[in-house]
Structure 1
Amino acid sequence: MILKLVIHFFILVIWEVSAQDDLPVAKLGCNWQCGDVPIPFPFGMKSSECYAGKWFEIECRNPSRYNHYTHTPYLKWIGLEVTSIYVEEGLVNINNPIYRSNCGSKDSSQVNQSLEGSPFVYSQKHNKFVAAGCNSIAVLKLNGSDVSGCVSICDQNYKVGDIGKIELINSDCNGKSCCENSLPPYLKEYSTEIKGLKENETSDECSYAMVVQQYQYHGYRPFFYNNGRKRYYFPVYGLVKDLDVVPAVLEWEILNNLNLTLPLDHHSECCDTNVTSSQYKRSGQRCSCKSGSGNPYLDGGCPDDPPPPQYRKSRSPLTISIIKEVSISFGSIILLLILWRVLTATKKTIVDKYRKRMFKRNGGLLLQQRLSSGEVNVDKVKIFNLKELEKATDNFNTNRVVGKGGQATVYKGMLINGTIIAVKKFKVQGKIEEFINEFVILSQINHRNVVKLLGSCLETKIPLLVYEFIPNGNLFEYLHQQNEDFPMTWDIRLRIATEVAGALFYLHSAASQPIYHKDIKSTNILLDEKYRAKVADFGTSRMISSDVTHLTTVVQGTFGYLDPEYFQTSQFTEKSDVYSFGVVLVELLTGKRPITLTSSEEAKSLASYFILCVEQDCVFDIIDERVTKEGEKNHIMEVVNLANRCLELNGKRRPTMKEVTLELESIRKLEGKSNAQEKYNELVRSEDYQCWDDYSTILEIRSAFDLSSRTPTLEDIHIRTI
């Protein structure tokens, strides 16, 4: 009897799980399919009652350009072909046009896609900007400005016509005949341009440029990883010369101005989003089913809702039988114990599945792999729970936002013990690999001039990192928005330069494994309560083996700080960080921005201008007035010469960060004997910081040099930048 009831109970549980297959897709009386493509609400066709506003209207055209026997759905007001719609993820797969240049009769008109005013944007997470060509630069433009681009180079063995034979699905697009780069966030419109490598030169060979979808390989065999990193591919079948369109992904949200009444259902939840606009913290909403699947935009669209009448009718005898038998045996203690055990086990299974899904989505498997390999020092970091961080940040109140970028938002918070923290919340469309990469690298670093990682939280849909809070903003703001209460003196500039150099020397030579930062710039140098430098943002950094001399990657970085040699060769070395530091050093000397616009709106590089002034012996014409007043000329010239060496076009001629650190320390020691240093010491010097100002620091750095004694061998490591 008890066994029979238990079997019936499991049948009921299985029915509830399988019932989600019978959930509604579209509104009652509305067509829900065009050809082979399901059209879920808020999308719909024909009647305005079937969709949520004009932008979600689907036009079912006949025939398809690819299949003359079926209909094809299009976004009517945008004119793009739809291949699939994912309501839970807020995604639409489309066929996107490509741009051809110098391909003869197959030349295409300039691609100029626009989603302006719509609830759609091109997904930064699921798309890449891809170009195929020889010795050319492909540029993605937004309102006439360059927002992304990449360089493709061919060797001498390439023949005319070989580019058109490229198959994107089998190509890594690492810069040899095919290249790729990320899209900017909130991309609603774009145009493309292809030009030659030299300035004002156009490419005269057949080239292609496109925004295309990117898939991740799935599996556990080595094939799916490249040097420990997950591999990706483009789901494009056929030769590139035969293509007119490629698959791409749009993200969407329910815009605020649609006035759509979202279902109030305890099986679903809705939250504010800013998918389509960086100017508003809430531009729309998205909904999701708590069970993880279904259509939350429809009443009864999520699992566990009452089943449709026809489904309920077909099972009514079984239901009546179960009710009778449960009622008869209700007083049985054994039955209650069994049911309690089953319910407990079922609930635990559901919770465990949810946690595993969140853990996997947040890169937990990759992090677990790093933990088991010993790459992460778990003693230095804490695993925070979500309630703790929600309380610290007042439920991630927008008033607590202290920084916002393309991949994450930073909130200020305070723990129960009074510790002030900064919580970095990655966006849904952000790259999960950047979260894992930053967590692993910062957990290995222990240096006073590198921002300290306190821990992480993996219990949410979006991963969180927790850092020490750095109160005085970044160097760029401090340098270019002068603080009258605490002015940027010559001594402060020297000290900040020395601290950043020391941190980079530590990363390159004294850390447990060499680390290339890859994005040194003044906005990534934070200033604490005593205006001491803290190097931050390790999302694109790389930890390498001690016997490796460079990384070969798709070129990425910040214009104005990017190493020209890296741009030409796609090989990033420790000397590439030295070049970026040289630009920061010139910023400190001149007080000027790394990139400025001339009267003709052309970009002017501070590094190039500085080198020209050094060569023409007029460098003091661009040195900041405060520097010339407070610093001794011979000391300033020593820093000028050091910066000039850091900006050498040939990386081998640049000094190491070890040499840079020692030279700056030597200059600081000489400057420390002046009256300006004594005045500054009265203002900011404290007992816990005196050790940095005395000569023991040099001894500490020199002792660290012993850790860096190694003889590297050349070995190419090809890492596909995500």
Structure 2
Amino acid sequence: MIIFISIFVLTSLISSTLVFSSLNNFPIARPGCKSTCGEVQIPFPFGIKRKCYRTKQFLVTCNNTDFTPPKLFWGNVEITDISLDGQITVVRSIAKNCYDKQQNRSSDNNPILELPSNFRVSNTANKFTIVGCDSYGYVSGRRRIGRNFTTGCTAMCSSRNDLQERECAGAGCCQTTFPEDVWWVRIDVRSYSNYTKVSDFSNCSYGFIVKDKAFTFSKDNLTNLSNVTKLPAVLNWDIGKGTCEVAKSNLKAYACKSAESECYEPVSGSGYRCRCRNGYEGNPYLTSGCIDIDECTLKISNCTKNAKCENTIGSYTCSCPKGHKGDGKEGDGCVKKQSLMIAYVLIGIIALLLCIILLYLELKRRSQRKTKHKFFLQNGGSILQEKLATGEVSPQMVTIFTSTELQKATNNFHNSMIIGRGGFGTVYKGVLADRRTVAIKRSIRVDPTQIEQFINEVVILSQINHRNVVILLGCCLETDVPLLVYEFISNGALSSHLHDEAKARVLDWNMRLKIATETADVLSYLHSSASTPIIHRDVKPDNILLDHTFTAKVSDFGASRLVPVDLAQLSTMVQGTFGYLDPEYMQTHQLTEKSDVYSFGVVLLELVTGRKALSFDRPVEEKSLSSYFLYVLKQDLLVKIIDEKIVGSGNMEQIYSVCKLAKECLNVKGEDRPNMKEVAMELQGLILGGKHSWERNNADNIEEMEYLLPNNHDGMGGVSSSVGYDSISRDHIGLPINGGGGR
């Protein structure tokens, strides 16, 4: 306790001494106004009586009746120091919460501080502190920007031996900061167990806002703070509202009255302050408040030892003795004349080398800038700019990253940052300057025919707002190949979990059904709820990512198409991945939302069977999963291909229902398939334990489907090795048609 009080008194004395020394011999208050109260200076704009203060916010009172020496008050708040740098030190109450041995509670909680405009609690000069061994506390309040805030911390210990002198890191004492611009504050302190576990040495909690370094924790504080009622805290103040520019427009109300003063805006707050210019000191709020200081007498000049310092108005000069030349200031200072020629030669050489280096760097910078601009145009920059200008892409939704930013984020695209490879290229993990972890897709080659598809992915993703869609953060067009920046999904692609023996065991039936439902919900949203309907065109497990909670995130919209509201289908070149392609789409080249339904049906089969859509390692009849599924379904041998890892008590009915749903999705004719909204409702019904929400009575088309499915064609490509962020994979196809374009 003695140590704490000593520090507080010493801090106050030092603060007062600094004020006295800095303002000594300079005007402090207005003429005829009292400039001190006890040991506290009262500089204008503060004042005790009328015409001595600027506005009522700066009215203070000096109580010399009840206190010796007198004390200065601001309302009912005691002031121990006023600084013209925009701070005042006040004394504030401590919040307390205590229980005696009979568990009777006594408390002095919720000390509230409410400040007028232009005043706020300093978030840099104060700390919110909790003291106790079974304690937690909150500081809450309001900010000038119209927001509320709450923060706090916990102080715990089980024995006095846990405590460290002068340490306030959670054992018996904790400290934390709070936001800026705070004008209203409330403090609450409480106990987790009413001190029953530590009552032999601590039965109270204490909470307070205290000036930084004015409080040093001691073991004795667990008991002696009960005798302390107030501690110092720092408030910030501004002289007026608005910026300096606005304030200067009204000279009558402008507060910086001294001719040698200047206006500045503090880092936080909405007002302005005044200060004396360099070379002057005093009170800038008074007409003749800023007085020239003698830097030579005060020995605050930077003249060298052998130079002579001479004071000037607002500044000073340094002159060298005879036989020397220079400015007499630190650095070169004063040098002998005979050494000047050598110095000039050296300076000339250094200047020449510097010019050469700067010229080289400038030429290199221009070359890099020219190259980046070339890549920008080559990678579709003009197309993207046109879409931004027309409003097709929102600037708030898509960030244009620079190549420098992404190089730093990936350690210059180091191999250790690679999280996936495929025929399309490489995906890197990166950490941006703001600490966000992202996935950066980098193509392996520049294909001019894919540039429009790349820009298309940016356009489509900027219009999608769904929690189960991978968020596109932005792109970079300054490199040799275009880059896309996505949110980072930590658990990889669904395919890596389904087709890895160890991971697949973790993926039980409930998780697989949840993933299927979330994916169906996304596709339903794209088809019917998006502002413009979207057909994904490449639905597969490689493009379904899983986060740390195994929540599905649909990715890769490079092949997607926006559907005009007046068109039921689009004529396009065939694109997609073998094993998932709609047979009707392959024959007719007519793209509809039912193409995604077919692909999703194959995904359902992979979830149920654990098999790949195409596998050349299996017998010929089992190579195509969809064809083999229809075969075993026809032979009533469905149990033969169900993944044994998901079979459990009571879930076979759900599994058979999903298989039936998959069969409906795999109908050859698109008109016989359900839409994605119906599929999503069916899966949601299974999760909720409901019955089928719809029933289809179409005749089986298994023979027709088997005929059309690409199950026995070699050269159809393999299973994609992508990680979900790619749009150009080695098992994709693109078949040109007559009269059909990419858009």
TM range (shorter): 0.3 to 0.5
Which protein is richer in helix relative to its size? 1
TM-score, with length taken from structure 2: 0.43
Per chain length, whose mean CA-contact separation is higher, i.e. which structure has more relative contact order (CA < 8 Å, sep 6+)?
A: 1
Larger radius of gyration: 2
